[in-house]
Amino acid sequence: VFQNMQKAECYFTNGTEKVRLVERYIYNRQQYLMFDSDVGHYVGFTPYGERIAKRANSNPARLEYARAAVDTYCRYNYGIYGQFATVERR
């Protein structure tokens, strides 16, 4: 059985002041590619992932789309799932 999975996670610091998006691409429980909005480009972890990262980083439209996902995906949905993730500290 082969498993191919993509996982996107949003990290919020101080509400929506600092938002970080991390997309992970996993095949058979091994991460081969990652996009981190703080880094701003794709990073490959296997030879196959490095080839995909090189191709994705050479495409400016794809990079711009991935960087804009912070606003369109994370900040947009903050009101929906941000209330469950926040913890008040005293």
Per-residue pLDDT tens for 28-49? 999 999 999 999 999 999 999 9
Domains and their CATH numbers in the chain: 4-84 (3.10.320.10)
CA angle 16, 26, 6 (to 5 degrees): 45
| Confidence band for 84, pLDDT divided at 50, 70 and 90 | low
Could you please report the per-residue DSSP string of 31-54?
EEEEEETTTTEEEESSHHHHHHHH
Tell me the per-residue pLDDT of 68-80, one tens digit each, with 9 for 90 and over.
998 888 888 777 7
**What does pTM read for this prediction?**
0.79
- What are the tokens at 83? 């209330």
Which pLDDT value is given to residue 89? 53
Check residue 32 and give its pLDDT.
96
